[in-house]
Amino acid sequence: MLDRKIEDLKILFTQEQIEQKTKELADKINKDCGPDSELVLICVLKGSTMFCCDLAKYLKMPVEMEFIRVSSYGNAKTSSGNVQAIDLTLPNLEDKNVLIVEDIIDTGCTMEFLINILCRTHKPKNLKVVTFLNKKIARKVNIEPDYYGFDIDDKFVVGYGLDYEGYMRNLPYIGYFE
Ligand code: IMP
Ligand code: MG
């Protein structure tokens, strides 16, 4: 049984704040990319499903959506730094504008791993990173996103795609346990 209760969560970002920030991020990306050049979104499963789908709705250029799956956490609350590729199946991305969409960058190990693989094996024209949450203070490698929604403290957060032992991804807000 799950040792944490949803009722004990402290809300960090409400559904309204999340929606507002997602629109702001989409506006920036729309401005930077322009309305004509195609963009490939790479949604990193499972955490970034909600953010990626919400973001995609506000993008105005022709968008392709691809999904890859990696795992670094297992069920623990601290990042293992040991990134496991579960499914990295992607179409040919050569000469495409690619945007990796993440829920959160914590140590940065997952993003470093993804950037290395994408650059080496796919040679995109342009590779950028957007993450909804940025836990800058927890960084172990030198990786910075091109866009991020909120910078947060070193707290374990759940909701809006982020899980605690596989649960709570479905919450429409982001919270933490004290
Ligand atoms: P990193 O490799 O340490 O940057 O961790 C990246 C992945 O760990 C994220 O994509 C999340 O799936 C997961 N993660 C990191 N911090 C949290 C958190 O506070 N709550 C839930 N998942 C997290
Ligand atoms: Mg993730």
For residue 22, the domain's CATH number is: 3.40.50.2020
Determine, yes or no, domain membership for 76. no
Query: Residues 84-102: what's their mean pLDDT?
Result: 95
Is 1 contained in some domain?
no
- Name the amino acid, one letter, at 153: D
pLDDT of residue 72: 79
d(CA 14, CA 172): 8
Ligand 2: centre distance to CA 51 (Å): 10
Mean pLDDT within 65-83 = 77
Atom 17 in ligand 1: residue holding the nearest Cα: 156
Indicate which ligand has the atom closest to the C-alpha of 49.
Answer: 2
pTM: 0.95
- Tell me if 78 is assigned to some domain: no
Q: What is the pLDDT at residue 178?
A: 87
163 C-alpha vs ligand 1 centroid, how far in Å? 9
Q: 29-33, 81-85, 99-103, 125-129: which has the minimum mean pLDDT?
A: 81-85
Q: Which amino acid is residue 128, in one-letter code? A: K
Mean pLDDT score across all residues of the chain: 94
At 75, the pLDDT band (50, 70, 90 cuts) reads low
- pLDDT value of position 80: 64
Mean pLDDT of 132-137: 97
Going by CA atoms, what residue is nearest to atom 22 of ligand 1?
A: 162
| Predicted confidence (pLDDT) at residue 47 exceeds the cutoff of 80 | yes
Order of strands across the sheet with 39-45? 84-87, 63-71, 39-45, 97-105, 126-134, 147-151
The per-residue pLDDT for 84 is 86
pLDDT for residue 159 is more than 90: yes
In a domain, 43, yes or no: yes
**Alpha-carbon gap, residue 123 to 94, rounded angstroms:** 5
Q: Copy the structure tokens of residue 5.
A: 């209760």
Counting the structural domains of the chain, the total is: 1
76 pLDDT higher than 80: no
Catalytic residue, chosen from 3, 54, 103, 106, is 106
77: in domain: no
Residues with CB under 6 A from ligand 1: 47, 72-73, 79, 102-111, 156-158, 162-163
Q: Confirm whether 96 is domain-assigned.
A: yes
* Least confident among 86-90, 130-134, 157-161: 86-90
For the cut 70, the answer to whether the pLDDT of residue 10 exceeds it is yes
Phi, psi of 41 (to 5 degrees): -90, 130
Residue 36 falls within a domain, yes or no? yes
The yes-or-no answer on residue 146 being catalytic is no
Domain that holds residue 92: 7-70+83-176
